């Protein structure tokens, strides 16, 4: 997966921390993280000259942690922010990473 970023290193480091993944390439021209070295898929952060457009992402990530509220608080403490994209009253929380890329934190799956 590729993410365009104004600051690939900063955004890649943020996602590595948020996901608990490992940096496998710290080159600012192609900063890459993976769950474990040599374990795909990974995420590559590539430099672009402009910030993300204000419209909603056409592709976004959904996460389903065991404890939604705890995970939302953790991600906000790392620098994510809550965003309104027209979702209304729903069971998930929409957040944006430091460069404004939206993603969702779902409630735990029924067991």
Q: How confident is the model at residue 111 (pLDDT cuts 50, 70, 90)?
A: low
Mean pLDDT calculated for residue range 68-73:
96
Mean pLDDT calculated for residue range 77-99:
92
**Domain ranges within the chain, ordered by starting residue:** 1-51, 52-111
What is the arrangement of strands in the sheet containing 2-5, beginning at the earlier edge strand?
Answer: 2-5, 42-47, 31-34, 22-25
First to last CA, the chain: 30
> What is the share, in percent, of the chain residues with pLDDT greater than 70?
98
How much is the pTM? 0.85
Does CATH place domain 1-51 in 3.30.720.120? yes
> How many angstroms separate the Cα of 74 from the Cα of each of 19, 65, 68, 77, 103?
11, 11, 10, 5, 14
Q: Write the pLDDT tens digit of every residue in 13-60.
A: 999 999 999 999 999 999 999 999 999 999 999 999 888 887 777 788
The predicted structure's pLDDT at residue 67? 95
The predicted structure's pLDDT at residue 110? 58
The predicted structure's pLDDT at residue 60? 86
Superfamily for domain range 52-111: 2,3-Dihydroxybiphenyl 1,2-Dioxygenase, domain 1 (3.10.180.10)
> What is the share, in percent, of the chain residues with pLDDT greater than 90?
77
Q: How far apart are CA 6 and CA 17, in angstroms?
A: 18
């Amino acid at each position: 997966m590729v993410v365009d970023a104004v600051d690939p290193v900063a955004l890649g480091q943020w996602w590595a921390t948020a996901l608990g993944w490992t940096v496998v390439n710290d080159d600012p021209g192609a900063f890459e993280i993976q769950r474990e070295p040599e374990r795909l898929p990974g995420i590559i952060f590539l430099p672009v000259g402009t910030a993300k457009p204000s419209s909603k992402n056409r592709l976004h990530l959904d996460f389903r942690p065991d404890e939604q509220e705890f995970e939302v608080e953790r991600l906000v403490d790392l620098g994510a922010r809550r965003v309104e994209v027209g979702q209304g009253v729903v069971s998930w929380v929409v957040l944006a990473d430091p460069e404004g890329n939206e993603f969702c934190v779902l409630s735990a799956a029924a067991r």
